[in-house]
Amino acid sequence: MSRKRPNRRWPASDPKTRRSLQPVAEMLEGRLLLYSKLGDQFVYSSRITYSFMPDGTSVGGVPSTLFSTLNANFSTAAWEQQIEQAASIWEQAANLNLSRVSDGGEAVASSGDQQDDPRFGDIRIGAVPLGSGTLAVTFLPPPANGGTDAGDILLNSSINWQINSNYDLMTVMAHEFGHSLGLGDVSSPTNPYPVMYGNYVGISQALTSDDIAGIQAVDGVRQFDAYNINGARNITYMTAANITSKIGSDAQAAIPSLDITTGGDSEWFYVTVPSTTTGTMNVTVQSTNLSSLSPKLMVYTSSLGLVGQAAAVNSMGATVSVSTSVSANQGYYIKVLAAGGYGAIGGYGLLLNFGSQTQSPIPPPNTVVAQQPDQGGGSLNNGIAVAGPDNPVAGAPAPVYTAIGSVQGWAEVYTAAPAAPINPVAQPVIPPISTATAANISPIVVIGIQLHPSPTRSPRPAASHRTPMRISPTKVIAWHRDKHLGVFTRAEHSRRT
């Protein structure tokens, strides 16, 4: 009977079928890299800013309620710190700095610069009611989205957000920051789950080796500053960098582009008090407006007696100073390190002031990029890597064209509904969320073809070599398991079908 034919094509006990699947299974087990790159990222990683939308900020006509939503459960400082921590773990893993800045409350997707718009962060964080099962939505970074909405993150305001229990704010924000920085969802579960795993499966506040490999594939390995290259290494007082020559006629010195590059690193500097001093030395370490480093500063005499110290633990960006009375020609050591806790790595600047004039802070690097048209899924050379749609069990979604109110763009949606357990890692059971029904997300359909179905995971038989997935008017996204093959044109699609 014809009704039996599907079963005969896919019987678990069919040795012929099993044999044909064997190499596939081995390939999966042997794979080391699971991460996927979106193929999109902010142009400058030297400083990517983020900001918290004030309540009332228009998200396509829907007012953001980030503050009132989270203030209902925590103090403002408590939830802000969770989000700042989520940013800092990415900064710690690769060659990028994330700096929190203020937000003027302009409407999301307002006309303006793609990066370093002075009115708000490159990544703006808000909260609006989203559909049931959705935890958050992140608009992909440039060039998929070319305007000020690129990288913006919208939490579902209907979720009862928690700290260190489900649904954990830092876990979700770490995942969303990953998208904003250029990573796609991971669909294949491993133990531990990567932060970029496509479904919420429990608290996950630390990057795995796969997440770290992913962000380093996007932004590269963190680079040492000018005092730690070409054989130099100012990590002890014996190799302290002498910065006396940096002091100008105003009795001030400003040294930008410094970096705590590895965990536990410290940087030592030495200075001789100039004759132009007014009798006070003010030493300042600044990561404010530069990075998520939580800084610590220690000042010593030339015989290593501690003069003073200042630290900003878990500040994820701060300015700390030590002031002391000095005389001309005295020598001092200055030690800069992380204060402990989150924000262990990041960029900073060092300021010295022996004079009477107020000293300006160190300006951030120029990262201005003007607005450009959305490029969406882009071309073959600029494709969106899709990690999951070939794996309906894991269910990691591909980027979709999303509209929230009048805001439209390419986005990733983080869902809260894990599927059945997948070996070898059993998924914990997270209770379903209950949300309001203000489903403003209306995904516009994207189409793809699955060139090679995944026999071990797909419910479809291996005989089918073209499994229609989702189609867009302009492009076809093709994938093989978790590996992105490229975004094809419609002509390509037609030829293959």
Interacting residue ranges for Zn ion, rule: CB under 5 A:
185, 412, 414
Give the tokens for residue 333.
């050591």
224 to each of 44, 73, 235, 318, 341, how far by Cα in Å? 17, 40, 12, 21, 21
Cα-Cα-Cα-Cα torsion 82, 84, 86, 90, nearest 10 degrees, comes to -160
- 261 touches 223 (CB < 8 A): yes
Residue pair 344/206 in contact by the 8 Å Cβ criterion = no
Are 345 and 91 in contact, with CB atoms under 8 Å apart? Answer: yes
State the nearest-atom distance from the C-beta of 135 to Zn ion, in Å. 9
CA dist 479 → 158, 376, 386 (Å): 34, 17, 7
Task: Tell me how far, at minimum, the Cβ of 387 lies from Zn ion, in Å.
Answer: 9
Give whichever of 173 and 241 is closer to Zn ion, judged by the CB atom: 173
Q: Which is nearer to Zn ion, 99 or 199 (CB)?
A: 199
* Residue 246 or 483 with smaller CB distance to Zn ion: 483
Nearer to Zn ion, 135 or 322 (CB): 135
Q: Respond yes or no on whether the N-terminal peptide bond of residue 461 is cis (omega within 30° of 0).
A: no
Smallest gap from Cβ 397 to Zn ion, in A, equals 7
Q: Min. distance of Cβ 222 from Zn ion in angstroms?
A: 24
Q: Do strands 346-353 and 280-286 pair parallel, antiparallel, or not at all (unpaired)?
A: antiparallel
Task: Look up residue 138 and give its DSSP letter.
Answer: E
- Which is closer to Zn ion, CB of 149 or CB of 412? 412
Residue 476 dihedral angles phi and psi, to the nearest 5°: -125, 130
One-letter amino acid of 470: R
Query: Among residues 198 and 383, whose Cβ is nearest to Zn ion?
Result: 198
Cβ 435 to Zn ion shortest distance, Å: 17
Report, in Å, the least distance between residue 376 CB and Zn ion. 18
Residue 141 and residue 90 in contact, taking contact as beta carbons nearer than 8 Å: no
Nearest approach in angstroms of CB 175 to Zn ion is 6
Contact 472, 377 (CB under 8 A): yes
Residue 266 exposed, middle or buried by CB count within 10 Å (0-12, 13-18, 19+): middle
Q: Which is nearer to Zn ion, 185 or 390 (CB)?
A: 185
DSSP H/E element including 90: helix 76-91
**CB-nearer residue toward Zn ion: 133 or 361:** 133
Orientation angle between helical segments 169-181 and 209-219, nearest 10 degrees? 30
Residue nearest to Zn ion (CB): 185
What pairs with residue 395 in β-bridges?
A: none
| 267 or 412: CB nearest Zn ion | 412
Residue whose C-alpha is closest to residue 448's, from 396, 489, 402, 405: 489
Least distance (Å) between residue 91 CB and Zn ion: 19
Q: Cβ 233 to Zn ion, closest distance in Å?
A: 39
